[in-house]
Amino acid sequence: MQVLIVKTSSMGDVLHTLPALTDACDAIPGIRFDWVVEEGFAQIPGWHTSVNRVIPVAIRRWRKAWFSSAVTAERHAFRNQIQSVQYDAVIDAQGLLKSAALVTRLAQGPRHGMDWRSAREPLACLFYQHRHTIARQQHAVERTRELFAKSLNYEKPHHQGDYAIAQHFSNKKNTQPYAIFLHATTRDDKHWPEDCWRELISMFANKGLRIKLPWGAPHEEARAKRLAEQFEYVDVLPRMSLHDVAQQLAGANFVVSVDTGLSHMAAALNKPNITLYGPTDPGLIGGYGQNQVICRPTNSKSLNDLSAKDVFIQLNEYGMF
């Protein structure tokens, strides 16, 4: 059975789709997937052994110059690629009008997606031939697992979903144990103050543990260097591909993170991870998996009200070091 998945972004959403593939593989022996995903996240689907072909799309970049000759040629090549296979099922797990109108409708095969009351953008369902009711009040991973089960006609398992990618990365014992602090996120109100990060870092001075700080953009590198200043046991990592970041996460003893895509990657790799939440609600889109701990300020939605001492206490309580 050959299935096309349309799940283009964001990083967390792409990672949250992986357990549904594992369910489908257990239910339908021999099933294989192609996956349409934004070019920036194209490394991720291939980490799952059931993915045969990753088809990058560049809607974010194309929108800046939609009718330019270069973008028109790329869009034409993408159309040819997605239409080169007759699929047994096409599953739009994005539930957005742009994914349905610009990607899903081009694919060859029965198109499945969430119905009017279930999709994130109801108009998207107009492009599906098969529309499924998916309960909203459940974690995003469970919603996608339910969508796959209904689209491919098997019973959704009751056990916790399995990302099935941890084995893709070596988990060698490190001569020097380390933790990773994921300090970068896209929204200003999801940042934890730099003074708090530095205070938390200072608490590990005599723990025999190195701390690694990844980054993805120049302003994030600058922040990482400020956080590491005068701490000889802190390493600012070089710029890395998603695969290399995942390899670093796979070897870590534990992770401390703000609400960011890499936090979900840590969860997908089964890494003990304490995630700091302020304005966002972790209930439906928080860390999903083993050893995922939510840390929030008391009676507040501002991370300014979360102290380094509170985070350190939770790290200790959950035995992360």
Tell whether 81 and 131 lie within a shared domain.
Answer: yes
Domain identity same for 11 and 145: yes
Distance CA 188, CA 200 (A): 20
| Same domain (yes/no): 61, 92 | yes
Residue 223 belongs to domain with CATH number: 3.40.50.2000
**91: closest CA among 146, 161, 160?**
146
**What does the pLDDT read at residue 171?**
64
**Which band of pLDDT confidence, cut at 50, 70 and 90, is reported for residue 173?**
low
Tens digit of pLDDT for each residue in 292-314?
999 999 999 999 999 999 999 99
Q: Look at residue 174 and tell me whether its pLDDT is greater than 70.
A: no
CB of 278 closer than 8 Å to CB of 190: yes
Model pLDDT, residue 157: 98
User: What would the pLDDT profile of 116-153 be if each residue is shown by its tens digit?
Assistant: 999 999 999 999 999 999 999 999 999 999 999 999 99
Question: 268-282 burial, b if ≥16 CB within 10 A, otherwise e?
Answer: bbbbbbbbbbbebeb
Q: Across residues 2-31, what is the average pLDDT?
A: 98
Answer yes or no: do 136 and 258 share one domain. no
Tokens standing for 175?
């001569």
Last residue of a domain, one of 142, 164, 186: 164
Which domain-ending residue is among 145, 164, 183?
Answer: 164
The parent domain of residue 242 ranges over 167-317
- Please write the tens of the pLDDT for every residue from 180-196: 999 999 999 999 999 99
**Total number of domains constituting the chain:** 2
Instruction: Extract the runs of DSSP E, i.e. beta strands, from 196-278.
Output: 210-213, 234-236, 254-258, 273-276
Mean pLDDT of 221-241: 98
Question: Average model confidence (pLDDT) for the chain?
Answer: 96
Of the ranges 49-58, 80-89, 165-174, which one carries the lowest mean pLDDT score?
A: 165-174
